Amino acid sequence: MTSGVDIIQITDLHIHSDPAKRVHGRDTVATLQQVVDAIGRDETTPAIVLATGDLTDNAKPAAYDRLRPLLAALDLPVYVIPGNHDLVPAMEERLVGGAIHHVSSKAAGAWTLAFLDTTIPHQTEGHLDDERLEALDREIKEADTPHVMVVMHHQPVPIGSPLDVCGLMNAEALYDVMDRHAAVKGLLWGHIHHTHDSSRNGVRRLGTPSTCAQFLNKAGIDATFTDEPPAYRRLRLNDDGTIETDVVWVD
């Protein structure tokens, strides 16, 4: 087996502050619990878990309070970033601490994970201002590892989905930074409630389904949910810079 590090990504948890509230028709605490239980049974040995945004549905303190014990039950270091349904101050105050981290980067084996906040408070779409792009450029330059994966929430590429109108609105500015650095080998996101796997300039681009409900990936229609189950992504980041990955559907 190629030497590397195993990582799990969960995304778009959409935990609500009200226990009686159903999000996209589902009890999102129950679906996340299914995913947490499945990760506990997974035959891989993940080093860390990435939770890539829309951690809550309404960014209220009580929503983060409901989420915290579910993430703690993973019994693994969890690295969180915000999505458009989150607010960073509430996330940091009520969720982060102990094994739950909110940082700008993390070394994992031969890789550096560069965490990027693509959110605009109270807006659905994503955008990167000059300060965030400059910070990413520094993170990549200062990485002590040969390979880098950029991790964020909004998708930086049209996927033929109703969510294309609210992805990363200035993706070319992101690619301008990434193209300066041969170390960047991966780009990982959530937001789309669907799968995506493509490449650009040698960079593997991966989008991941939600732990609650999935969107029908069909352009020209209103957002419609499918009957697909919750899911999470497994990644093996190999020391040679390649990525092995699959999506696990939790039925």
pLDDT given for residue 138 in this prediction: 97
**Per-residue confidence (pLDDT) for residue 163, from 0 to 100:** 86
| Three-state secondary structure string covering the chain | CCCEEEEEEECCCCECCCCCCCECCECHHHHHHHHHHHHHHCCCCCCEEEEECCCECCCCHHHHHHHHHHHHCCCCCEEEECCCCCCHHHHHHHCCECCEECCCEEEECCEEEEECCCCCCCCCCECCCHHHHHHHHHHHHCCCCCEEEEECCCCCCCCCCHHHHHCECCHHHHHHHHCCCCCEEEEEECCCCCCEEEEECCEEEEECCCCCCCECCCCCCCCCECCCCCEEEEEEEECCCCEEEEEEECC
Structure tokens at 228: 């697909």
Predicted structure pTM score = 0.96
> What's the pLDDT score for residue 218?
65
Q: Catalogue all structural domains in the chain, each as residue range(s) with its CATH number.
A: 4-249 (3.60.21.10)
Along the 251 residues of the chain, how does pLDDT read in single tens digits? 579 999 999 999 999 999 999 988 899 999 999 999 999 999 999 999 999 999 999 999 999 999 999 999 999 999 999 999 999 999 999 999 999 999 999 999 999 999 999 999 999 999 999 999 999 999 999 999 999 999 999 999 998 888 899 999 999 999 999 999 999 999 999 999 999 999 999 999 999 999 999 988 766 556 677 889 999 999 999 999 999 999 999 98
- pLDDT at residue 223, rounded to an integer: 66
Which burial class, exposed, middle or buried, applies to 14 when counting CB atoms under 10 A from its CB (0-12, 13-18, 19+)? buried
Q: Give the pLDDT of residue 222.
A: 63
Task: Give the pLDDT of residue 227.
Answer: 86
pLDDT at 19: 95
